[in-house]
Amino acid sequence: MAYVELKNLRKSYNETEVIHGLSLSIEEGEFIVIVGPSGCGKSTTLRMIAGLEKITEGEIRFGGKIVNDLRPKERNIAMVFQNYALYPHMTVFQNMAYSLKIAGLSKSMVTSKVNEVAQMLEIKDLLERRPNMLSGGQRQRVAMGRAVVRDPTVFLFDEPLSNLDAKLRGQMRLEIKRLHQELGATSIFVTHDQVEAMTLADRLVVMNDGIAEQIGTPMEVYSQPMTRFVADFIGSPAMNFLEADLENDGQTAKLQDGTVLKLPLRISPRNKDRSVCLGIRPEDITRATKRTVNSLSVKHGIVELLGSDTLIHYLCNNQSIIVRFDKKSVPQDDNLMLQFPEEALHVFDVESGLRLTAT
């Protein structure tokens, strides 16, 4: 295991900068997930850590040692790729044993380590097969086993579950979680899937256009998003947003139809004359039995049945508002009142997208 530190990490291709000064400290044994949409720079960051991409500026340290100029094999990292990257002409045993043989370990030691890891990953009965005889999930287990046998300083995962179907992805998430708990290895995992990010991470790094918009635990990022982008990207279904204008010295906000919503805390007076974006998660909206403070009249829209939950898309101020109901409390009314609890509202600046703080 190793303490990993990124200091003002930058990457440019000619005149185009794609990573804008990323700084991150990763504790020994921590599981970090870098999450974001396609093209945000998450895989480029991982490849710089691995030594597969040359950094333009900044430092990468493993255990306090600068590794900027070290080749990938000198960094003692193991990487699991999206496309498995197995040698097709080798058996599972040979794929897992290859790096150990190159390192000069004895035949008995190689056999022992491969069998031990194969037992851990439940692929011991596959050791004599070649990759073309394996399913996608089995190939990914082999790729993980090949990484584990090396006993690396840092594990790097580059969207390793993207090629798997939904059920198998869920199984492999649990497998990776279990593996990390058993090994306690420092791990960096890249994905665009927020479910993977939320379930696997000790901490999340939410990236957008080469910038880390927020770094924190999954619940910190979910419950206190620091930007509108983070609020919109993390959470399924996504957070609802309504544009409004601050009033009453930042204590209330007026929507486009004139409805006034009370805010959870008074917004700083320096922000009181600006337009804002109010956010609220679908599960935080409830049904109101009568007109009260922070209630809105809406029209019934599209229904999505999810089994245990139901999502209903209501129309409010000419835009869709998604509400999550459990199966026992789904309303049938075409028109009804929804309650927007003030403590569940998030307030973002329209121009900058930043969360507005209270006084």
Task: Work out the pLDDT band at 273, boundaries 50, 70, 90.
Answer: low
* pLDDT surpassing 70 at residue 269: no
Rounded average pLDDT over 302-318: 87
| Cis amide prior to 237 (ω within 30 degrees) | yes
Angle, CA 257 vertex, CA 253 and CA 261 arms, to 5°: 25
Name the residue type at position 345: L
Q: Which two tokens stand for residue 94?
A: 């040979």
What is the predicted pLDDT for the residue at 71? 93
Q: Which amino acid is at 214?
A: Q
Under 8 Å between Cβ of 340 and 297: no
pLDDT band at 267 (very low <50, low <70, confident <90, very high): low
Identity (one letter) of the amino acid at 301? G
Confidence of residue 166 (pLDDT cuts 50, 70, 90): confident
Is the pLDDT score of 215 beyond 60?
yes
Section 331-341 average pLDDT: 84
Q: Which CATH topology does 4-232 take?
A: Rossmann fold (3.40.50)
More reliable by pLDDT, 96 or 167: 96
Q: Average pLDDT of 81-100?
A: 91
pLDDT over 70 (residue 272): no
C-alpha separations of 210 from 9, 144, 282 in Å = 10, 28, 29
Residue 1, pLDDT score: 67
Q: Say if residue 130's pLDDT is above 70.
A: yes
* Model confidence band, residue 302 (pLDDT cutoffs 50, 70, 90): confident
Q: Is residue 333 scored above 80 in pLDDT?
A: no
More confident residue, 103 or 271: 103
Helix (H) or strand (E) holding 97: helix 92-102
DSSP codes joined into one string, 319-347: EEEEEEEETTS----SEEEEE--GGG-EE
Q: Is the pLDDT of residue 332 over 80?
A: no
**Entry pTM:** 0.90
Q: Of 315, 252, 319, 260, which Cα lies nearest the Cα of 291?
A: 260
Task: Output the pLDDT for position 271.
Answer: 54
User: Inter-axis angle of helices 107-120 and 136-148, to 10 degrees?
Assistant: 130
> Phi and psi at residue 347, in whole multiples of 5°?
-120, 125
Could you please state the CATH topology (level 3) that the domain comprising 239-349 is classified under. Answer: OB fold (Dihydrolipoamide Acetyltransferase, E2P) (2.40.50)
- Give me the mean pLDDT over the 261-270 stretch: 72
Angle subtended by helix axes 92-102 and 136-148, to nearest 10: 20
Over residues 16-55, the pLDDT tens digits come to: 999 999 999 999 999 999 999 999 999 999 999 999 999 9
Q: Break the chain into its structural domains and give their ranges.
A: 4-232, 239-349
171-178 average pLDDT score:
88
Average pLDDT score, the chain: 90
Q: Is 275 left (phi over 0), alpha (psi -120 to 50) or beta?
A: beta
